[in-house]
């Protein structure tokens, strides 16, 4: 009966698992607009992260779900009829010329912004020495400045030491903003529904404001049976209280933002500042959009906007293999089944004085091929000095993991008895591997590892395994 039950369960989970493996995307969206002055850039970064703490208070949700570029976010909002500053994304000097001529014939000044998926652009430096990833320039200087950015690597505080390549530059109209307000929509865990948040004061001090004057933050939960009503939208508008923009127009803008939020499976939509221009228009001057990874199967258009050139190559490789992987910068590579156990494994490594190199949940449905890929990613990480495989198989079978490790070792090369193995172009990596197997088919798994002749360090429980891994890494 147990055998039958196991089969039934594992087959059902294969079905569920096929879909489970889909959502390994992480997509994020840029801030939308910022003053190109360096100081402002730093402030904007602070304000974005702080505003998210305001939104975050009501819905502790994902900062990084879908990462899409600023110009893509603006384009999306524009499609929904939401007012955004006018902008054109360009990838070459010719396109720059064309854009200035056709889209901005009458502008004296334009904002030129590097499109990378990291913050801190204003204060960043390019590989060619040019300073600042965001500039306000006179129309006749746009070509020159854009030329210094396109195709270059930009280093900011958030890009990491390798920087990020600027494939596109966003040319925007320079707006004079009269009033800055705050607007956000989140999915609130407490009310288990959409929550709209508005504040009449946006900008950098939103977090301080939320602390000192919580009454200035207006929260409007939306009844999911009714959808957003005119009354709801009106309360929101009165909440951020535009000074000059037309009230009815503003109500319509709120409804459009809500529509985008729902139709595109957003987990967070934050506009800070939601501004009024000198021409009495309400405009989303800076936006952060997060999308639900779980909805990738029905948001193909959105998830197609993902730019892998901006991501950690280890994570790109992992996503290709449908592995749930997050790269960190420690020394002990981890392979675990189950997200909670994977996090606990990282915690316990730290407790024993080591540093985890990554988070990796192979899940209950990992195939041998995926285990091989996972092992390859871990061993290709230069920083990794030891690998810890911690498997407590319920649905996951220990023999599948064991076969995967053995096959990966054959392809990648690990220390094999007393010999270093050279395979193809890959130099043997003398990375000690600590394996702890428990649960379904544990005996078969252990036998496979024993018979492979691989030099492995085994452990019986998680504490011992972590301790051994830390010791192995420090040698």
Residue 122 annotated as lining a ligand binding site = yes
Residue closer to another protein (CB basis): 90 or 342: 342
The answer to whether residues 431 and 457 touch, using CB atoms and an 8 Å cutoff, is: no
Q: Is 35 a catalytic residue?
A: no
**Is the backbone peptide bond immediately before 4 cis, with ω within 30 degrees of 0?**
no
User: In the window 10-49, what residues touch another protein (CB under 8 A)?
Assistant: 12-13, 15-16, 18-20, 22-23, 26, 49
Least distance CB 414 / another protein (angstroms): 23
Q: Does 139 bind another protein (CB under 8 A)?
A: no
413 belongs to the binding site for another protein (CB under 8 A): no
182 has catalytic annotation: yes
272 is in an annotated binding site: yes
The binder of another protein chosen from 125, 446, 452, 471 (CB under 8 A): 446
Asked whether position 326 contacts another protein by CB under 8 A, the answer is yes
Helices (H), 86-205: 93-102, 142-149
Taking the CA atoms of 91, 139, 157 and 51 in sequence, report the sign of the dihedral they define: negative
Nearer to another protein, 193 or 308 (CB): 193
Burial 4-19 (b: 16+ CB within 10 A, else e): eeeeeebeebeeebee
Cβ distance to another protein smaller for residue 55 or 257: 55
Of 319, 198, 293, nearest to 250 by C-alpha is 198
Closest distance between another protein and the C-beta of residue 400, in Å? 15
Give the Cβ contact number of residue 47 at 10 Å.
24
- Minimum Å gap between C-beta 220 and another protein is 15
At residue 70's C-alpha, the angle toward residues 84 and 280, to 5°, is 15
Q: Are 396 and 337 in contact (CB under 8 A)?
A: yes
d(Cα 345, Cα 334) in Å, to the nearest integer? 8
For position 194 contacting another protein by CB under 8 A, the verdict is yes
Give whichever of 97 and 350 is closer to another protein, judged by the CB atom: 350
Is there a binding annotation on residue 145? no
Task: Please give the size of the binding site for another protein, defined by CB under 8 A.
Answer: 84
Question: Which member of 270, 276, 373, 467 is catalytic?
Answer: 270
- The smaller minimum CB distance to another protein, of residues 142 and 437, is found at 437
Judged by CB under 8 A, which of 34, 265, 307, 322 binds another protein? 265
User: Cα-flanking dihedrals φ and ψ of residue 435, to 5°?
Assistant: -120, 130
Half-sphere exposure (Cβ direction) of 331: Cα atoms closer than 13 Å: 17
Burial class (CB in 10 A: 0-12, 13-18, 19+), 368: middle
- The region of 63-71, 133-141, 175-183, 302-310 touching another protein under the rule CB under 8 A is 63-71
Binding residues for substrate: 337, 394-396
Instruction: Please give the positions annotated as active site.
Output: 182, 270
Binding site, annotated residues for ATP: 113, 120-122, 180
What residues are designated binding site for Mg(2+)?
272, 286
């Amino acid at each position: 009966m147990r055998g039958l039950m196991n089969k039934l369960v594992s087959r059902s989970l294969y079905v569920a698992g096929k879909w489970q493996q889909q959502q390994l995307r992480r997509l994020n969206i840029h801030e939308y607009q910022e003053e190109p002055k360096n100081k402002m850039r730093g402030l904007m970064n602070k304000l974005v992260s702080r505003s998210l703490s305001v939104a975050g208070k009501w819905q502790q949700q994902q900062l990084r779900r879908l990462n899409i570029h600023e110009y893509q976010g603006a384009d999306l909002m524009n499609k929904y009829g939401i007012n955004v500053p006018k902008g054109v994304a360009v990838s070459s000097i010719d396109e720059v010329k064309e854009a200035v001529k056709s889209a901005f014939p009458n502008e004296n000044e334009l904002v030129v912004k590097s499109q990378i998926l990291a913050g801190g652009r204003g204060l960043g430096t390019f590989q060619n020495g040019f300073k600042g990833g965001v500039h306000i320039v006179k129309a006749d200087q746009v070509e020159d400045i854009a030329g210094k950015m396109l195709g270059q690597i930009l280093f900011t505080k958030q890009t990491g030491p390798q920087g990020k390549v600027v494939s596109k530059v966003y040319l925007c109209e320079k707006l004079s903003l009269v009033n800055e307000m705050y607007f956000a929509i989140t999915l609130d865990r407490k009310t288990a529904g959409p929550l709209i948040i508005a504040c009449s004061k946006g900008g950098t001090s939103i977090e301080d404001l939320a602390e000192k004057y919580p009454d200035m933050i207006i929260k409007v939960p939306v009844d999911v049976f009714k959808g957003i009503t005119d009354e709801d939208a009106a309360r929101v508008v009165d909440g951020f209280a535009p000074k000059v923009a037309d009230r009815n127009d503003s109500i319509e803008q709120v409804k459009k933002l809500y529509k985008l939020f729902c139709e595109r499976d957003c987990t967070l939509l934050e506009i800070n500042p939601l501004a009024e221009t000198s021409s009495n228009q309400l405009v989303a001057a800076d936006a952060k959009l997060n999308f639900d990874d779980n909805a990738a199967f029905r948001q193909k258009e959105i998830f197609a906007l993902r730019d892998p050139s901006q991501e950690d190559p280890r994570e790109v490789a992992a996503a290709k293999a449908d592995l749930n992987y997050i790269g960190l910068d420690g020394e002990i590579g981890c392979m675990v089944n189950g997200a909670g156990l994977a996090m606990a494994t990282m915690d316990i490594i730290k407790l024993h004085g080591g540093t985890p190199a990554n988070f990796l949940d192979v899940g209950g449905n990992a195939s041998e091929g995926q285990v091989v890929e996972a092992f390859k990613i871990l061993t290709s990480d230069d920083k990794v000095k030891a690998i810890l495989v911690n498997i407590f198989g319920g649905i996951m079978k220990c023999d599948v993991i064991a076969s995967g490790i053995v096959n990966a070792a054959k392809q990648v090369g690990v220390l094999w008895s007393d010999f270093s193995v050279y395979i193809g172009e890959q130099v043997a990596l003398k990375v000690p591997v600590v394996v702890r197997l428990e649960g379904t088919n544990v005996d078969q798994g252990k036998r496979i590892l024993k018979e492979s002749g691989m030099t492995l360090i085994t452990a019986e429980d998680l504490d011992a395994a972590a301790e051994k891994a830390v010791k192995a890494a420090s040698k």
